[in-house]
């Protein structure tokens, strides 16, 4: 297992190796998108064996989360939401969303900002959302159009985050999280639970 390629690296220092892997991951995801990126390619870029990448970071999915400093793993987040009582679910989703994206400099919001002006970043985000969020949509929404419903509710929430943390409209930027939870939960609840959307 080769853990040292670049000159000046202390052999076998896990912190240094992890940092190199995370940097390589960001590069490869950005160049190849999420789907086509491989642990093998990321290992090669970092100069380490792919097995070591797996050992430190688990799946490609987890490596994306770690390399983009996302505060939560969307797949774990959905797994956690499944146990939330049905009538508290909408509020919990809004709260999680706002704390993940709501500050102007948050890493999650940086991904969205980058997607706005860069086609490769947009593709990477699209593929990651599909993989991390939409594949598990049906565990939250008991309808055949679960993916559509999750896209619509996530769209509303990211739009509010945009108005709040990017454009800075005081109508939303000056409210605290719980006020926004109260305002937005009924809409999220509708997308989760209404038998018919139209």
Binding residues for a copy of itself (CB under 8 A): 112-117, 122-123, 125-126, 129-130, 134, 147-148, 151-152, 154-160, 162-163, 166-169, 171-172, 182-187, 190, 197-198
Please give the Cα distance from 96 to 117 (Å, whole number). 26
Q: What size, in residues, is the chain?
A: 198
Is the Cβ of residue 116 or residue 177 nearer to a copy of itself in the bound state?
Answer: 116
- Minimum CB separation of residue 66 from a copy of itself in Å reads 22
> Do 4 and 13 meet the contact criterion of CB atoms below 8 Å apart?
no
Is the Cβ of residue 16 or residue 158 nearer to a copy of itself in the bound state?
Answer: 158
| 24's tokens | 């390589």
- Minimum CB separation of residue 156 from a copy of itself in Å reads 4
Greatest alpha-carbon pair distance for the chain in Å reads: 62
Q: In 77-190, which ranges are E strands?
A: none
Task: Give residues with Cβ within 8 angstroms of 61, minimum separation 6.
Answer: 73, 75, 131, 132
Is the Cβ of residue 7 or residue 171 nearer to a copy of itself in the bound state?
Answer: 171
- Minimum CB separation of residue 45 from a copy of itself in Å reads 26
Q: What share of the chain is helix, strand, coil (3-state, %, to 5)?
A: 75, 0, 25
- Minimum CB separation of residue 97 from a copy of itself in Å reads 11
Is the Cβ of residue 71 or residue 159 nearer to a copy of itself in the bound state?
Answer: 159
Is the Cβ of residue 85 or residue 105 nearer to a copy of itself in the bound state?
Answer: 105
Please give the Cα distance from 110 to 112 (Å, whole number). 5
- Minimum CB separation of residue 136 from a copy of itself in Å reads 14
């Amino acid at each position: 297992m080769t853990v040292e390629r670049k000159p000046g690296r202390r052999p076998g220092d896990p912190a240094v190796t992890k940092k190199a892997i995370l940097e390589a991951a960001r590069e490869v995801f950005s160049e190849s998108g999420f789907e086509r990126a491989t642990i093998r390619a990321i290992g090669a870029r970092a100069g380490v064996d792919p097995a070591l990448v797996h050992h430190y970071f688990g799946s490609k999915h987890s490596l994306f989360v770690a390399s983009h400093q996302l505060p939560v793993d969307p797949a774990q987040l959905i797994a956690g939401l499944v146990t939330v009582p049905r009538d508290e679910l909408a509020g919990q989703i809004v709260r999680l969303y706002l704390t993940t994206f709501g500050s102007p400099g948050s890493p999650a919001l940086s991904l969205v900002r980058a997607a706005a002006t860069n086609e490769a970043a947009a593709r990477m985000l699209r593929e990651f959302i599909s993989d991390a969020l939409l594949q598990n949509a049906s565990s939250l929404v008991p309808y055949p159009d679960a993916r559509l419903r999750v896209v619509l509710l996530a769209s509303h929430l990211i739009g509010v985050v945009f108005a709040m943390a990017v454009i800075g409209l005081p109508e939303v930027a000056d409210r605290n999280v719980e006020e926004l939870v109260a305002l937005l939960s009924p809409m999220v609840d509708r997308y989760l639970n209404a038998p018919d959307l139209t």
